[in-house]
Amino acid sequence: MKEELYLANVTMLDAQPRESIPAYLSAADVALVPLRRLALFKGALPSKMFDAWACGCPVLLSIEGEARRVLEQAQAGLFVEPESPQVLAEAVRRLAADRGQCRVYGANGRRFVEAHYSRQAQARRLTELLCKIIAAD
């Protein structure tokens, strides 16, 4: 479709090794995290959300359920209804027009990942849980 529509501003890349992804996410204006509208995905938490946030990249999410709850808690991007191309296009235009808000979303995401999903944060939670279990005995 890129060629059919003469989209000179779209670049399609072949699959990239996982270790190169942070460079792409750090350079991106926004990360798109879409899934179809299926009950199966209501509990999904795609790792690409956290990868993007770790790189300070805001997320444009179209997944209902748990992923949306986390996005809104983090205040690190926008939610759009799944399978709504017009709404998605408007959200892209909105973010493109407001680079300052994109930076805020990206910074919020970075702080959120560091506080809640980094290895250090998860190690702290595990330590707290183990201490509670030991204290209960």
DSSP-derived secondary structure for 26-44: HH-S-EEEE--S-GGGGG-
d(CA 64, CA 44): 9
d(CA 31, CA 65): 19
Check: CB of residue 113 under 8 Å from CB of residue 50.
Answer: yes
Q: Please state the rounded mean pLDDT for residues 97-119.
A: 95
* pLDDT tens profile 47-69: 999 999 999 999 999 999 999 99
Separation of CA 80 from chain center = 13
Instruction: Name all domains of the chain by residue range, CATH numbers in brackets.
Output: 18-136 (3.40.50.2000)
Nearest CA-CA partner of 99 in 53, 41, 38, 57: 57
Q: What is the pTM of this model?
A: 0.84
pLDDT (0 to 100) of residue 106:
97
d(CA 125, CA 133): 12
